[in-house]
Amino acid sequence: MAEWYYTDSWNRQYGPVADSVLLELNQTGAITARNSVWREGMDTWEPFHTVAPELFENDEEGNPIDLGICAYSGRVLSSREMVPYGDAMIGVDSREEFVQSLMETGRVVEAQTTTKEKEFIGFWWRTLGVMLDEMVKYGLMAILLAVLALIFFGTMKVFSVPTQGGAFTGIFMAFATLIAYGAGAVYEIWMVGKYQGTLGKMVIGAKIVQPDHSRVTYKRSIGRWFAKTPIFLEGVKILPYVMFGFFIGLVSSGFQSGSTAFLIASWFLAFALPTILSIVLTSVFWMAAFDEQKRAFHDRIASTRVVPK
């Protein structure tokens, strides 16, 4: 008999427990279809609903029984223990609470199954999530830089160390930028590993999972961040700016030489080529718009998917 480990809604781990105990926990609602479970021999943690068919006993003829997920309680139940409500199924013992909930909230009930979800978050929703995350990260970085500046220059003042000139300012900016950049990395890696998504993902109702819809490990979260941020995102930011600066330098030369044609060509190249380069470089992100599973480049590298939560 297998020994199972499971997590609660706060991602706290429990176990080991036997098959019968796991089924009893599901029956009482202590764990639901989407709680993660694991036993020896499994590569990763899985949502309970994906392993439930192997735990329930077969019918009188020896065939697997039909299972479903109660759209109210989230429990995995036999179809004989549920009644239909539109396309959804509701546990017989949850009918009264379900009806009361509908009367009070008027919420929409969606059908759920014991098969893994096939929906993926679309490109524009993912773009919104990224924008929200950038706002969060830049806000945190601004606060962190302000605190570091107070500590650094306050310490210099206490010890009467002169801070005039660009040397101290340059050292501080280099150090503070690294700290702030590291804080942004920790934010994303920790949030994805702990909560399956950043705040931006949470706002749009998304989570990051592996191809089998199991949780993303911290190791995979680190790899995903490296594929997304230092390798490509910084390249997208830096290279077009370098090219823009180069052609602006040519514009200055055009003013000095007095050549109108050279000046116009330099202005055109200063804006056109960096824009084209930005589009080419950001293809690692907007490829999600054309991918069947809405994967960006870093999703392909880390083998992750962004799905509805």
pLDDT of residue 115: 46
pLDDT tier at 101, thresholds 50, 70, 90: confident
- Rounded CA separation 184/232 (Å): 16
- 29 and 65 both lie in a single domain: yes
Average pLDDT over residues 269-281: 64
Between residues 92 and 110, the one the model is more confident about: 92
Q: Does 110 reside within a domain?
A: no
Residue 272 has pLDDT above 60, yes or no: yes
Q: How far is CA 54 from CA 63, 79, 89, 135, in A?
A: 12, 16, 21, 45
pLDDT at 176 over 60: yes
Per the rule left: phi > 0, alpha: psi between -120 and 50, beta: everything else, 41 is left
What is the predicted pLDDT for the residue at 236?
59
In a domain, 113, yes or no: no
pLDDT, mean of residues 253-263: 61
Q: Are residues 141 and 44 in the same domain?
A: no
Q: At what angle do helices 260-281 and 234-257 cross, to 10 degrees?
A: 180
Whether residue 153 is found in the same domain as residue 41: no
Q: Does residue 158 sit within a domain?
A: yes
Host domain of residue 10 = 4-105
Range of weakest confidence among 105-109, 188-192, 202-206: 105-109
Is the domain of 67 the same as that of 34? Answer: yes
Q: Which residues contact 101 (CB under 8 A, 6 or more apart)?
A: 72, 107
| Range scoring the smallest mean pLDDT among 23-32, 74-83, 105-114, 181-190 | 105-114
Rounded Cα distance between 82 and 60, Å, is 19
Tens of pLDDT along 49-58?
A: 888 888 888 8
Name the domain count of the chain: 2
Domain-located, residue 201 = yes
- Distance, CA of 191 to CA of 129 (rounded, Å): 14
Q: Are 299 and 288 in contact (CB under 8 A)?
A: yes
Over residues 65-88, the mean pLDDT reads: 85
Per-residue pLDDT tens over the stretch 124-148 = 888 888 888 878 877 877 787 778 7
- Same domain (yes/no): 97, 155: no
Last residue of a domain, one of 76, 105, 134: 105
- Indicate if 29 and 58 belong to the same structural domain: yes
Task: Give the C-alpha distances (Å, rounded to integers) separating 300 from 284, 285, 291, 292.
Answer: 10, 11, 10, 12
Domain shared by 240 and 295, yes or no: yes
301 in a structural domain: yes
